[in-house]
Amino acid sequence: MREKFRRFMTGRYGSDGLNQFLSICALVLLAISLLLRSSLVSWLGIAVLGVCYWRMLSRNISRRTEENYRFYNLQQRVQNKFAGLKSQWQGRKYYRYYRCPQCRQKLRVPRGRGRIQISCPRCGTQFIKKS
């Protein structure tokens, strides 16, 4: 039986990080549908699970690899955003954060300096803020 499955999966994509994410999302949606007794959420969970299996059994390996690459890029951007927010939250006692009015660059200045002139390192714009 194991050999039959191995031959069946030869040339197919298999599982990856995006498939794991989709299967977890499907399980969460199905659990929510049990709690809410909503058929719409249940059908959505089944559809996500179907997409997961469709990707796993696909023979278009290059396309599935590209999808997985885009998923990991998006995941990395989200993680970096939350890491930046965490860092900003931890430094709130010692620093104030402002955005440059010209280029929207986030700038960090020390707290307790009174009204200071801030120079943006990216575009060179100078503006005055209270720290």
Distance CA 25, CA 3 (A): 31
CA torsion through residues 47, 50, 55, 58, sign: negative
Dump pLDDT digits (tens) for 71-123: 999 999 999 999 989 999 998 899 999 999 889 899 989 998 889 999 898 88
Token pair belonging to 82: 């939350």
pLDDT-derived band at 7, boundaries 50, 70, 90:
confident
Would you say residue 16 has pLDDT above 80? yes
Reported in sequence order, the residue ranges of the chain that DSSP labels E, i.e. its strands, are 95-99, 106-110, 115-119, 126-130
pLDDT score recorded for residue 3: 83
Angle between helices 17-36 and 61-90 (to 10 degrees): 70
Range 21-48 average pLDDT: 92
Residue 108 pairs with which residues in a beta bridge? 97
